[in-house]
Amino acid sequence: MRPPSVDSLANSLKPSGLPHQLRVEAARRAIANNDHENAAAYASEIYDELLRPVINGTGVIIHTNLGRAPLNLESALDHAFRYSNLEFNLATGKRGSRGERAGSLISRYIGAEAAIVVNNGAAAIFLVLATLAFDRNVVISRGELVEIGGGFRIPDVLESAGARLVEVGTTNKTRLSDYEDAAKISNPALILKVHGSNYKMIGFTETVSVKSLKTLGLPVIFDIGSGLLDESAPWMGWPRPSWLKGEPGAKQTLESGADLVTFSGDKLLGGPQAGVIAGAKQFVEACARHPLYRALRPGNLTLQAMEDTLLAYLDDRADQLPLWRMAKTTPQELKTRAESLDLGRVVQLKSTVGGGSLPGQEIDSYGIALSGDKTSELRKLKIPIIARMEGSDTVIDLRTVDAEDDSYLGSVIRALI
C-alpha cells in the first residue's frame, strides 16, 4: 500500500500538541521506517524529548536528572512576561548591575563583604581561579581532588583556569605542615579547600581546618559545594536533623576565616542552577571585573528565582521552600498520605538528599509499593511519574511528591492497576 504524503501524515498528528515542523519530522521518521501507521508513536518520542514537568517519586530530594532542587517559579515566570529592572537603577535612572541585588541578599544573610552569582558551581570555582591564580600555583590536599558532576575534575578545572596544581598530603591524611612546606617552596597564589560533598571518607583520616590554614598568611578559598547557608539550619527547627551533621555552612566558613566561599545554588540552597562567590570584597570585585564574568553570569530568570529564594531565607520563610518543605515532612505525615491514597501496599522507605550532597545520609520516609515493574508505564503518563524499583516492586516515595499532586497520582495509578 502506498504511504500517505508527509504533509497529510503530519496534519493527522495535530493531537500530539507538537508544532508543525516537529510533526513533519515525526511523519518523515515513520515513512522512512515504512511504519506510517504508528506515526503517533514517533510523535510521542519527539514530545518526550522536550522539557516537561514530571512527578519525582524516587525519594531523591535533589535529583540531578530531574532538575536538582525543586523550585516554586511562579514569581520568576511572572517576571518572564515583562520587562524588569535587570540592569537599571530605579533610584538614579541610570544603568545598574544585574548581579548586585542577588549578591547583596547573599551577603546580608551569610555575613559576607560581597557576593556575585554565576551560572553554576563549577563556573564559580573556575572564575575564582582564573582571576586570582592564573599562571600561578594553587595548593590543595590530595584528599580533596574530587570529581564533580558530569566528569569534571578539580585538577582539570585548575588547568583550564590557567592555574598550576600543587598537591600536598596523602589521600587520607593532610596536615598543616604539608601546607607550610608547599607555601615555602612553591610561592602559591592561594590555598584551595574543597568539601567532599559527593563522597565520604572514613577511618584513618585527617584534614586541616580553614582557621588553621589562615595562619599561613595566604588567601583561603573554600568550595563548600552543596550551598548550605547556615550550619544551624534554623528553618528546620530544633534539634537540627542528624543527616545535616558535618555539612559546612557558608556563614560559618567565612566566620572561620575563609577569604572566599563558593557553592551551588540548586542544591542545599534550594534555588535555581547557579554558582555563588562570596567573601572578601577585594576578591569578589576582582572576579566581577574579569572578562570571563560576562560569559559566566546568569540571565533574568535565574536571578529572579535566586532573589525569591534568598528573600525566603531573609524573611524566615526558608522552611516553605520546596526543598526544605520536603525534607522537613515527618514520616508520620507521609504514612498518613500513603494510607489515604489507598493505592497499594504502604511501605516504609529511605529517602536521600542526592545531588552530590550528604552522601550516605538517609531520611525515614513512606510510600506506595506496586507489584511488578511499572516504571515504564508510569513514565508514559501525561505527567510522567518517575519511580524506583525495590526488589520486584515499583515504589513511589511520597517524600518527593508534592501533596498537591496526590489527586493526580491516585487517579492515574488506579487506572493503571
Confidence of residue 98 (pLDDT cuts 50, 70, 90): confident
My answer on whether 336 and 274 are in the same domain is no
CATH code, domain carrying 392: 3.90.1150.180
The answer to whether residue 210 is domain-embedded is yes
My answer on whether 246 and 376 are in the same domain is no
Tell me the pTM: 0.91
Q: Where are the alpha helices (DSSP H) in 218-343?
A: 250-255, 281-289, 291-296, 300-314, 322-328, 331-341
- Asked if residue 58 has pLDDT above 60, the reply is yes
Give the residue-averaged pLDDT of 295-323.
93
Question: By residue range, what is the domain housing residue 401?
Answer: 55-70+324-416
My answer on whether 61 and 94 are in the same domain is no
Average pLDDT value for the chain: 91
My answer on whether 208 and 343 are in the same domain is no
My answer on whether 309 and 231 are in the same domain is yes
Sequence-distant (6+) residues with CB within 8 A of 295 are none
My answer on whether 61 and 79 are in the same domain is no
The answer to whether residue 43 is domain-embedded is no
Find the range with the poorest average confidence among 76-85, 115-124, 317-326: 76-85
My answer on whether 376 and 361 are in the same domain is yes
> What pLDDT does residue 20 have?
92
> What pLDDT does residue 114 have?
97
Instruction: Check if the beta carbon of residue 394 is closer than 8 Å to that of residue 375.
Output: yes
Rounded to whole angstroms, the Cα distance separating 324 from 18 reads 36
Record the cell numbers describing residue 261, joined without a space. 566561599
My answer on whether 278 and 394 are in the same domain is no
> What pLDDT does residue 344 have?
80
Strand duo 190-194 + 220-225: pairing: parallel
* Residue 206, strand partner residues: 173
> What pLDDT does residue 168 have?
96
* Residue pLDDT, tens place only, 153-169: 888 999 999 999 999 99
The answer to whether residue 37 is domain-embedded is no
CA distances, 107 to each of 161, 248, 288, 327 (Å): 26, 17, 15, 25
The answer to whether residue 302 is domain-embedded is yes
- Asked if residue 152 has pLDDT above 80, the reply is no
The answer to whether residue 38 is domain-embedded is no
The answer to whether residue 35 is domain-embedded is no
My answer on whether 21 and 167 are in the same domain is no
Output the CA torsion 382→62→387→392 (10° steps): 170
* Residue 56, strand partner residues: 386
My answer on whether 228 and 313 are in the same domain is yes
* Residue pLDDT, tens place only, 273-292: 999 999 999 999 999 999 99
My answer on whether 304 and 189 are in the same domain is yes
Confidence of residue 348 (pLDDT cuts 50, 70, 90): very high
CATH code, domain carrying 288: 3.40.640.10
Rounded to whole angstroms, the Cα distance separating 84 from 11 reads 39
The answer to whether residue 65 is domain-embedded is yes
**Which position has the higher pLDDT, 100 or 260?**
260
How many structural domains compose the chain?
3
The answer to whether residue 170 is domain-embedded is yes
My answer on whether 281 and 216 are in the same domain is yes
